Each structure stands twice: as structure tokens, then as C-alpha cells.
Copies of this chain bind each other. A is one copy, B any other.
Amino acid sequence: MRERRGAVTIADVAARAGVSQASVSRVLNGKRSVDPVIVRSVQSAIAALGYAPSVAARSLVHGRNHTVAMVVPDLENPLFQGILKGLSRAAAGDGYRVLVADTAERIEEEEATAIEARHRCDALVLCAPRMPEAQLRRLVARVAPVVVVNRQLPGAEVPIVGVDYGRGIRDLVEHLTKLGHRRLAYVSGPEASASNAERRRGVEEAAAADPDVHIEVLPGGSRLDDGYDAARSVLDARERGATAVIAFNDLVALGLMTRLRELGVDVPAELAVAGFDDVPMARFATPRLTSMSVPRDELGAQVWGRLRTLIAGGPVEHTVLYRPRLEVRESTAAVVAKGGDA
């Protein structure tokens, strides 16, 4: 791009090598058989002139960019960061690059951003946890090829790569109930977030599966501050008998633990706390945070695999959901008989 006017073109190479442009093109693309003599002269001409093919011209001819875009609401989110990293590295292996289209949380601009990004790229990765489902369906049909991250979209012709949050939550609840916890609290994530909805479903299923288990849902958020601020309502829940808390994600859990420590609440002795995502910091918290591990980079690699198939004209591959892995650490311990409460 921005080939400073007068950049060396294939014509210059052809002239210097004394052959036609077509021959140069063939050498460049290894097409057909070309006389070895010509090959050499072309190659040396290329080297001498420092020629590099014009990406723009190639794109125009092929209708392909070798670029894909990833649409995200917030680059701050560790999950998306991991996916971006995994995606960009995997794609690079196939000569593709990744464009970031950060919508800065403006979900009303998400659709337009996606469409615009699609015009510049061969395919899209859509991370739109809060876009209304109907809108997402329409969008997906319009911008194909596309891979959707972390959302269910029943019946839609689109590959989905994500995390089985429901399953993760159920596994986490099981871990806690095995430790003797019966009354739990779930500090939820952003209201409209699809992955939060899945977690809540997991919470409900877990509660429904065992009549002894009760899970209270508390408002929360997705960041450190949200967890910090949720301490108040968490402690209220504790008054009502809760002995363990599951946070929407690790950031919330870490923020919560910070506040609890300030308030002199001992984790896990007085209250067990668990997070979700297993961010690096989880292992370094005090106490070390029990969490559900999600293979962030691997998700990105899987996304690329699906995308690549689509770009090559292949079929919509099956949805793949990673089952989070329980990482038991210090923040969750067996429930302790508790004195004087109702």
C-alpha cells in the first residue's frame, strides 16, 4: 500500500529481465513451467530492483486480501486479548493478518463497524456478547464468512467457537458442594452479556439438580471495581447463610477479595470465593484464587481454523465449546461449622 508513486512494478522487472510481464508473474507464483534461464534472470532482476508485488493490485484481481477482522467490544477484556493473540498467531502461519475493530463498547455501532470491517477483509470474527440475537443473526448472514465467538445461535449457518460456561459453572458448583457448601451466591456479569446468561443458566441447573443447594444471584459486573463494589451485597448474602461465592470472572473475584480483606473477612475460612477464566493473576492472589481455566489462545487458534475452512470454500464446521477446567486453589475450602447465625 501507499506505493510511493513510481514504485518498481512488475513491468520494470519484465523490462530488465527482457521478458514479458506474464513470465514474471509466472515466476512469482510458481505457475506452470518456466524456462530455468528465464527464472533466473527474473529473479535477479527482482533482487536488483528490490521489487515487491503490490498487495492492492493482487487484492483487486483475486478479490482477496489475506486479512481478517476481529470485532470486539473491548480490547481490555483478557479473554478477547487471548483470542486475538491466538488468532493472530495462527492466521500468520497461513499468511493472513488480523485487523482489530474495537467498537469501544458502543454496541449500537457494532453492526456498522462489522460491515465496514468486512469490506476490507476476507472474513470476520465476531465477538458481540451483547448484541441482540435477532440483529446478530441478520449480521452474520450478511458478513459471511464469519465465525462467532462465545454465543449460541441455534440454526444459524455459522461456526461457533466458545466456552461451555454452563458446564463450567456446574462443575464449579459441584466442587463447592463437595466441600460442604449449600448456600452459594453468584455475582453476575454485565446484564446483557450472553456468556453471563449462560453462566446463570448453569447456576440454575446446578441448583435445580440438587434440592439442598441454593444459589442466590447478585448484581455485579466484569471488572475489578465491580467485584470490589459487590462486597456489600455479598456480605448481605453471607448473613443470609451463603458460605461461598462464585464471581462472573476472575477480575470480579479479585476485586471482591480485596474488599473482603479490607473488611476483615477471611477467605476461605469465612467465605469461599471462586472466579472464572483463570487469568495469570489468579495464581498470585492471596489467597490463590480457585478458578475455571479457559484456553484463551487455543480459542483463537480454533477460530482461525474455522475461518480458514470457510475462506477456502469449505463447510460450516461444527460448533466447538471448550469445557473449562477446574483449578482448585486456596480461595475455596471446606465449609466450617459456623456459630451464632439464624
Contact = CB atoms under 8 A, between A and B. Distances in A.
Given A4-B63, A76-B85, A261-B286, 20 more contacts: A1-B65, A1-B119, A1-B122, A2-B64, A56-B65, A69-B97, A75-B81, A84-B100, A88-B100, A89-B102, A92-B104, A97-B99, A97-B101, A97-B117, A98-B99, A98-B100, A99-B99, A224-B284, A254-B281, A254-B284
Given A100-B88, A101-B97, A286-B258, A57 B55 contact: no
A52 interface: yes
Q: Which 6 A-B pairs have the closest CB atoms?
A: A1-B65, A56-B59, A2-B122, A258-B284, A56-B60, A75-B85
A100 B84 CA distance: 9
Interface in A31-79: 52, 54-57, 59-60, 63-65, 67, 69, 75-76
A228 B67 CA distance: 39
Given A1-B121, A2-B121, A119-B1, A89 B60 contact: no
A120 B65 CA distance: 9
B284 A228 contact: yes
A100 B102 contact: no
Contact of A120 (B60, B67, B69, B223): B67
A341 interface: no
A212 interface: no
15 contacts: A1-B59, A1-B67, A1-B121, A2-B122, A52-B119, A56-B59, A56-B63, A75-B84, A89-B102, A92-B102, A97-B99, A100-B100, A254-B284, A255-B284, A286-B286
Count identical subunits in the complex.
2
Interface of A: 1-5, 52, 54-57, 59-60, 63-65, 67, 69, 75-76, 81, 84-85, 88-89, 92, 97-102, 104, 117, 119-123, 223-224, 228, 254-255, 258, 261, 280-281, 283-286, 311
Contact of A2 (B63, B280, B285): B63
Contact of A3 (B54, B63, B284): B63
A64 B1 CA distance: 5
Contacts of A97: 69, 99-101, 117, 120
